[in-house]
Amino acid sequence: MLAEAGCFMVKYGLESGSARVRREVLWRRMSNDTIKRGFWAAQKAGIHTSAFVMFGLPTETRDEIMETLRLCAEIGLGRYRWALFFPFPGTAGHKIAADLDLIDQERMSGLGNYFDGTCLKFDPETDLLLQKLGRVCHWWVNAMSDWGCAPFYRPLVEEVESWDRAAWEANKRDLHRRDRELSEELLRKGVRHYSLRYTHVMAVDSDYVLAERAKMRAAPQYVPIGYTLDD
């Protein structure tokens, strides 16, 4: 009915692929199967799907972070936007984190947004992983997918995961350039993948990117303000 009414995109608050995290931290009791059916129903109707996901939730483990990435890969989202959990005062998330003494108050006061890092007290390895995911989490999703892009992204994930903090600081600013260059190569080859588009925390299915470029080139007078044919 939504598709027949002209709906072209549905946005979902997926947030976490871990049933435990959803239940204990987010108070969401749906199963992964229910989540997948919700996305696939829209996709079957020809509706573009968009998800919001979070990393670095209170008590979240590395394995549970990977569950979120795997779920994104399995669903085959149209696009997804991510953020690192931030304990805004007055929210239930803040109370959960504060009750467990997980908030680094000094770090919290120095964060400008919820994309660059976490203010929770994770171990150094997890803290660094969260910074990496904040930049290119879609590389992990591409590598975990059953799409033809996986062999291109697995070595990239291994490379980024091997970096210690010094290597990360030295190389992180080059990741977005590398992402766009590889994406343009895969677009030319017709290899389906996710790449950063429209914002630095959103990954978009290449099928959508190609379709949008075709529309813009067919009717360039309708290119939205602020966008270019390369977006």
Q: What is the pLDDT of residues 101-123, one digit of tens each?
A: 999 998 888 876 677 789 999 99
pTM of the full predicted structure?
Answer: 0.91
Measured from the Cβ of residue 97, the count of other Cβ atoms closer than 10 Å reads 23
pLDDT at 194 over 70: yes
pLDDT at 149 over 80: yes
The third-level CATH classification (topology) of the domain covering 9-222 is Transcription Regulator spoIIAA (3.30.750)
Domain ranges of the chain: 9-222
Give the DSSP H or E segment for 132.
helix 124-144
pLDDT at position 223: 57
* 160 three-state secondary structure: helix
* 61 three-state secondary structure: coil
Let me know how many helices (H) and strands (E) the chain has, helices first: 10, 5
pLDDT at 44 over 60: yes
Confidence band of 159 (pLDDT split at 50, 70, 90): very high
Question: Pseudo-torsion of CA 122, 124, 128, 134, nearest 10°?
Answer: 10
